[in-house]
Chains A and B, each alone.
Chain A
Amino acid sequence: MSEDRHTGTNDLERRYRRLLRAYPGDYRRERGDEIVGTYLEVAGPDRRRPSPADAADLVRGGLRQRLRAVGAPDLAPGVRLAALLAFLTATPLAAAWMVLEQHTPPAAGPLTAAWLAQGQHTPPAVWNAPYVGPFLSLGVGVWLVWLLAVLPLALGSVRWTRRLTGAAVLATVAVLPLAALTGLPRPPLFVLLPQVALGLVALALPERLPTAARLLPLVAVGAAAVAAPNLLPRAEDFYVSYYGWTASQILPWAAAALLVTVLLIGVGLAVRGDLRAGWAGVVLATPLGLMSLHVFAGAVDGVLHGAPRPGWSALAGTAVAVTVLGPALLPATIALRRRVTARLATPTAGRCPTCGTAR
């Protein structure tokens, strides 16, 4: 039956057909009647509109079908793996930033003692900078929401973890206008950007996770909270302001750890013929790039201007480039995969049908 023949049918059917647009056109024409018919049988006579769960099911099914149509059915498992790794990266980072938010008198190092003896002590910039109560910036509220997201996961509720992760992403974004409106300090953009990118990927956390995977973020957060005080600035670190130097060191190392983890998991799974870690790597490209801003921008600024550390314009330019190119990597990889799959499905394409040699 064509879609036009259904224009006079009841509201419920029309609404299901509207949701069916999530599916590719060819599939919809071939299977649409069957799927909608089954929905109507399941729905019963009293239902007037699709439930939110029905809508989610159809959208998920449509997305899955579109991925299948382009020869990337294993993208969804890859995205779920990427989500877990993103969450596992974002939450310990939040724990580290939370510790660095403390506005406490810096510990005196050996240099301070020498300076004090000479009457030359200069307090570090971090201690003199503006602050928010006992904390350095409004970031403390943001990181608190991130840390709260770890608890429901450890207790087994992925749904609440996703909700709190969404709230944490919103809080991470909202701190920008909030700081502008109140005039209070906030964490630097190069700290907030990768956190938002990691959070957006983490929203795809799978419904079912093994116990070890659910507890791992809690363990990682604990480890980061224990290790982070070592990164607090000392009295002689007078060049430090907010997260400045420390954060620009932590983020690239965290990116390297995440990349190595993806590679190790990728090798392990590839041995079993499972390439989902490849998709996870593609999905994580943007967060990885944003976490490595200082490395990339430093390379650009170093080559172009011989600057020892990247300037603001180099950081901003690199961030824009990563934000544009990173997400574009996924459709590009899907297109490439479609070509490879099409070629594998028709092994004779591009070859002489008689002798089999490439044309």
Chain B
Amino acid sequence: MWPSSAVRPHGPTRYLRVRYIAAVDTPLREPTFLILTALAREPLHGYAIIGEVAALSDGRLTLRPGTLYGALDRLTDAGLVAVDREETVDGRLRRYYRLSPTGETTLAAETERLRRNVEAATARLGARSRAVRPTAPRTAGGLA
């Protein structure tokens, strides 16, 4: 599958070029989804992205820098993320990344897909709990 707003390829050459040089499969994997979500509000540098992803996942997902930059490279290649600016703080280089318009569309589409899934699951679970709710025990013979 293609990033939702990416231009679909025409012809085998373009297909292979887009598929194997720059592509991010959808549905997005959770780390990818959370990185895009972290960048949705404002451009962030690597360390801040790691912190945001940990906060968004309630501490369940802690990205390591090697994994994070690999993911950022893939997302940059696929046009979902772009470098915003560079700063040097305490002698250390900080590169800020921002969500591109394509990334925003992909994140919105993925969020909508997940929302529909959550709604469907919630509805089914609600119906199930109503169906299995224990009925009041019938008393035979009564006390009256």
Contact = CB atoms under 8 A, between A and B. Distances in A.
Interface of A: 1, 31, 33-35, 37-42, 53-54, 57-58, 60-62, 64-65, 68, 71, 73-74, 273, 275, 341, 344-345, 347
B94 A37 contact: yes
B50 interface: yes
Nearest to B45: A38
A342 to B, nearest CB: 10
A61 to B, nearest CB: 3
Contacts of A41: 47, 92
Given A68-B73, A73-B20, A344-B17, A58 B93 contact: no
Interface of B: 13, 15-17, 19-21, 45-47, 50, 64-70, 73-74, 92-95
B126 to A, nearest CB: 26
Contact of A35 (B15, B20, B65): B65
B66 A37 contact: no
B70 A37 contact: no
Task: Determine chain A's interface SS by DSSP, over half rule.
Answer: helix
Nearest to B69: A35
Contacts of A57: 64-67
Contacts of B64: 42, 53-54, 57
Given A57-B64, A61-B67, A33 B93 contact: yes
B99 to A, nearest CB: 19
B69 A341 contact: no
A65 B13 contact: no
Given A33-B92, A42-B47, A61 B66 contact: yes
Given A41-B47, A42-B47, A65-B73, A34 B93 contact: yes
B21 A37 contact: no
A60 B66 CA distance: 8
A74 B20 contact: yes
Nearest to B64: A57
Given A34-B46, A65-B73, A273-B19, A58 B95 contact: no
With a 10 A CB-CB cut-off, give which of A37, A39, A74 has the most chain B CB atoms.
Answer: A37
A1 B94 CA distance: 12
Contacts of B92: 33, 37, 40-41
B62 to A, nearest CB: 9
Contacts of B45: 38
